[in-house]
Amino acid sequence: MKELIQKLVETTGPSGYEDQIRDLVKNQISKFSKDIKVDPMGNLIVRMGAKKPGGSRIMIAAHMDEIGIIVTHVDDNGFLRFTTIGGVRAANCIGGRVKFLNGHSGVIYMEKMESADRVPSFEQLYIDCGYTSAKECPIKVGDIASFDRPFVDLGKRLVAKAMDDRIGVAVLVEVMRQLKNTPNEVFFVFSTQEEVGIRGATTSAFGIDPEIGLSVDVTPTGDTPKSMKMAVSLGNGPAIKVRDSGMLSDPRLVRHLVKIAEEKKLPYQLEVLEMGTTDARAIQLTRSGVPAGCVSIPCRYVHSPSEMVDMDDVENAVKLILAFLSEPIEL
């Protein structure tokens, strides 16, 4: 899967501008199903299997978009001011590089600070694209960029920007590749605009009207020096979400996923996340309500340009979801 993951994370696709990443994913999955469509929100929706006796209509979603920035002002000397697309942190930006959708690159830096102990605000950050005047600068107000970092293979551990949630996308692609038989009608949704309010999953869930929903996304870990207190660690297996700040997973679905993991002797963790949410929230709240949950990939340094995952967690997430989809689901 590493070659696929590298292609996914190194492709540009900030929220609302997922064209390049959608084309890449579509090319990867076109051999697995001919029932593929792109809806008005830009979600890529792929249907596999037919509902058999005891089967369910299942929506499983991973978002294609990544965090980014948008230009708000170009000064006389060609320096750019910007605001954020999604959960960008100022502290993670300093010295970082960005690539605009038009191919131009720049580096983020900060004004001189009165105190070196302070974290700058976004008003004190700027982008330098190497130009000397506004007239010379080809970047304009409203132009979009994503962070620009190469994929790094550390063996079991992989590092890149946009692991959130291209690693979930990679899991879904691999599940589609290995899924041979299912009693369920499965809709794989590669969703848009999750980072700015789970928007793509909201509309796609309404259109699909699933009976069961699952998202695949990243979750932070509690295993780094002086990190937050959280019982999720890299390498200890995919995390079965119990709760985040936007939803409570359906407890029947949590129990079902735990049962599968234990029967298949797959490592797993239980996730209680105090901040953030996923596409599962949108699925859960669609129409008259849907039993929904989430399988999370433990990820260090979420929403930084260098997010880290463990390949064992990724592969075990694939195994868990394959087992979940391959049999009737009784909740």
Please pick, among 194, 195, 271, 307, the residue that the annotation labels catalytic: 194
194 is a catalytic site residue: yes
Backbone phi and psi for residue 88, each to the nearest 5 degrees, phi listed first: -85, 135
> Which residues does the annotation mark as catalytic?
194
